[in-house]
């Protein structure tokens, strides 16, 4: 038959066994300060992982290690079974070439608290920059895709706007479109709404919800607890460089097992 049954076509895509991102025993220090103290985490394809925790607990550092912005001291991170960065434990066990790092980085999208758009470029040019430069996508093709992504984040009419002409919420939606432009396997968000005026938070969360329901693999550091409960498959609570507990929202948010999780949730609610 011309069309394969649904069950067959989904298994031929060979969903990686276990995690899309696997983090095992990751440690990281800055000088004397141990910021990650043995992190184990599995991010499954198509799932949303929300990371909660007090300021300074190591959440941003963890995201940065996944995106090659921070080398780990020991432990291992893999993306689709490929080692990310390098692990050091006395000896250098594995080091990637700069070219390999760049290639892997194109598979990981990241959205920061502070938008980080290029101020002197339009929304459209912000989105086409990486595909054109990193992948050599022709201009017309990159722009056509960028317009689709602008429509996805509800900004199809602002292609020609510069960041200063956009609200914070609009800028963050352009930043999300930009992160999607390389078709990443996983999208990392570091407190994507923390820098926004309260009335602009929801428009950004709505875009992230849309990505989640479309099956995009997301890892989101957030203080928006009710959003995490709605959208996350797995909630991770971090404190002092460790994962204190992780599990479905019904467990970690609604019935936390640890006192530290309970007191954190009481403080941020
Ligand atoms: P969170 O995102 O949970 O607030 P971070 O990962 O940003 O936590 O930081 C964890 C700890 O590591 C903090 O004490 C922070 O000051 C420290 N830290 C983060 N980045 C650096 C760095 N590049 N150099 C030195 N200390 C850092
Ligand atoms: Mg942080």
pLDDT tens digits along 99-151: 777 777 788 999 999 989 999 999 999 999 999 998 899 999 999 999 999 99
C-alpha–C-alpha distance, residues 231 and 41, integer Å: 18
Q: Is residue 48 a contact partner of residue 208, using CB atoms and an 8 Å limit?
A: no
- Best residue among 29, 50, 58 to mutate for probing ligand 1's pocket (most ligand atoms within 8 Å of CB) is 58
Residue 95, pLDDT score: 64
Q: Which residues surround ligand 2, an ion (CB under 5 A)?
A: 59-60
> pLDDT value at position 242?
98
User: CA 231, 38, 27 angle in degrees (round to 5)?
Assistant: 105
Task: State whether residue 57 is helix, strand or coil.
Answer: coil
Q: Is 222 in the pocket of ligand 1 (CB under 6 A)?
A: no
Residue nearest to atom 22 of ligand 1 (CA): 30
146 within 8 A of 159, measured Cβ to Cβ: yes
Burial of residue 91 (CB within 10 Å: 0-12, 13-18, 19+) is exposed
User: What per-residue confidence (pLDDT) applies to 268?
Assistant: 86
Q: What is the pTM of this model?
A: 0.90
Task: For tokens 């031929």, name the residue.
Answer: 12
217: CB partners within 8 A, 6+ apart: 20, 21, 43, 44, 45, 46, 47, 48, 185, 186, 187
Residue in 56, 222, 236, 237 to alter for ligand 1 test, most ligand atoms within 8 A of Cβ:
56
Ligand 1, atom 27: closest residue by C-alpha: 30
Least distant ligand from the CA of 192: 2
Residue 267's CB is within 10 A of a number of other CB atoms, namely 8
Candidates 36, 78, 47; CA nearest to 235 is 47
Closest residue by Cα to residue 68 from 26, 104, 31: 104
Given a contact cutoff of 8 angstroms between Cβ atoms, the answer to whether 93 and 87 are in contact is: yes
Closest ligand 1 atom to residue 241 Cα is 10
Q: Is the CB of 59 under 6 A from ligand 1?
A: yes
Residue 47 CA, ligand 2 centroid: distance in Å: 21
Would you call 110 helix, strand, or coil by DSSP? strand
Positions in the chain whose pLDDT score sits under 70: 1-18, 85-96
Tell me the two tokens of residue 149.
């992504």
What pairing do the DSSP bridges indicate for beta strands 218-221 and 48-52?
parallel
Return all residues near 56 (Cβ < 8 A) that are at least 6 apart. none
pLDDT at position 134 is: 86
For the chain, the straight-line distance linking the first and the last C-alpha, in angstroms and rounded, comes to: 55
CB of 60 closer than 6 A to ligand 1? yes
Q: Which residue has the tokens 């912000």?
A: 126
**CA-closest residue to ligand 1 atom 14:** 56
| Secondary structure of residue 8 in the 3-state scheme | helix
Structure tokens at 238: 């971090």
**Which one of the ligands is nearest to 55 CA?**
1
Say if residues 81 and 19 touch (Cβ distance below 8 Å): no
Say if ligand 1 is within 6 A of residue 56 CB: yes
Helices (H), 58-158: 59-66, 98-105, 123-135, 139-152
């Amino acid at each position: 038959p011309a069309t394969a049954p649904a069950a067959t076509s989904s298994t031929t895509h060979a969903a990686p066994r276990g995690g899309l991102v696997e983090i095992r025993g990751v440690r990281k220090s800055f000088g004397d300060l141990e910021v990650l103290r043995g992190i184990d985490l599995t991010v499954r394809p198509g799932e949303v992982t929300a990371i909660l925790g007090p300021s300074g607990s190591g959440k941003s550092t963890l995201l940065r290690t996944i995106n090659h912005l921070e080398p780990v001291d020991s432990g291992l991170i893999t993306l689709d079974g490929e080692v990310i960065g390098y692990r050091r434990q006395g000896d250098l066990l594995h080091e990637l070439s700069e070219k390999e790092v760049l290639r892997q980085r194109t598979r990981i999208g990241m959205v920061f608290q502070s938008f980080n758009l290029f101020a002197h470029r339009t929304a459209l040019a912000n989105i086409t920059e990486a595909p054109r430069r990193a992948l050599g996508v022709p201009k017309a093709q990159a722009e056509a895709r960028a317009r689709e992504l602008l429509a996805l984040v509800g900004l199809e009419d602002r292609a020609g706007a510069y960041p200063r002409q956009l609200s914070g919420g609009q800028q963050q939606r352009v930043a999300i479109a930009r992160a999607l432009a390389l078709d990443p396997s996983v999208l990392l968000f570091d407190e994507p709404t923390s820098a926004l005026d309260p009335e602009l938070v929801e428009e950004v969360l709505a875009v992230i919800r849309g990505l989640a329901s479309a099956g995009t693999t997301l890892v989101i550091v957030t203080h928006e607890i009710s959003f995490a409960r709605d959208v996350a498959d797995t909630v991770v609570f971090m404190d002092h460089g460790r994962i204190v507990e992780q599990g479905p929202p019904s467990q970690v948010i609604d019935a936390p097992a640890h006192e530290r999780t309970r007191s954190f949730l009481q403080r941020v609610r």
